[in-house]
Amino acid sequence: MADQAFVTLATNDRYAKGAMVLGKSLRNHKTSKKLVVLIGPHVSELSRAVLQTLYDEVRLVDVMDSGDTAHLAMMQRPDLGVTFTKLHCWTLTHYTKCVFMDADTMAVANIDELFDREELSAAPDPGWPDCFNSGVFVFSPSNETYGKLLQYCTEHGSFDGGDQGVLNGYFSDWATADIRKHLPFIYNMSSIAIYTYLPAFKQYGANAKVVHFLGKTKPWSYAYDPNQRRVQGNVQEASSHPGYLLEWWSLYCSCVLPLKQ
Ligand code: UDP
Ligand code: MN
What ipTM does this complex have? Answer: 0.99
Rounded average pLDDT over 162-168: 95
The predicted pLDDT at position 238 comes to 55
The predicted pLDDT at position 120 comes to 98
Ligand 2: centre distance to CA 188 (Å): 10
Contact 248, 231 (CB under 8 A): no
How far, in Å, CA of 177 to CA of 114, rounded? 19
The predicted pLDDT at position 35 comes to 98
Probe target for ligand 1 pocket from 6, 7, 8, 11, with the most ligand atoms within 8 Å of CB: 11
The predicted pLDDT at position 239 comes to 59
Mean of per-residue pLDDT scores for the chain:
92
What are the structural domains of the chain? 4-183 (3.90.550.10)
pLDDT at 121 over 70: yes
pLDDT at 256 over 90: no
The predicted pLDDT at position 184 comes to 97
Q: Which of 92, 112, 89 is nearest to 102 (CA)?
A: 89
Ligand minimally distant from the alpha carbon of residue 221:
1
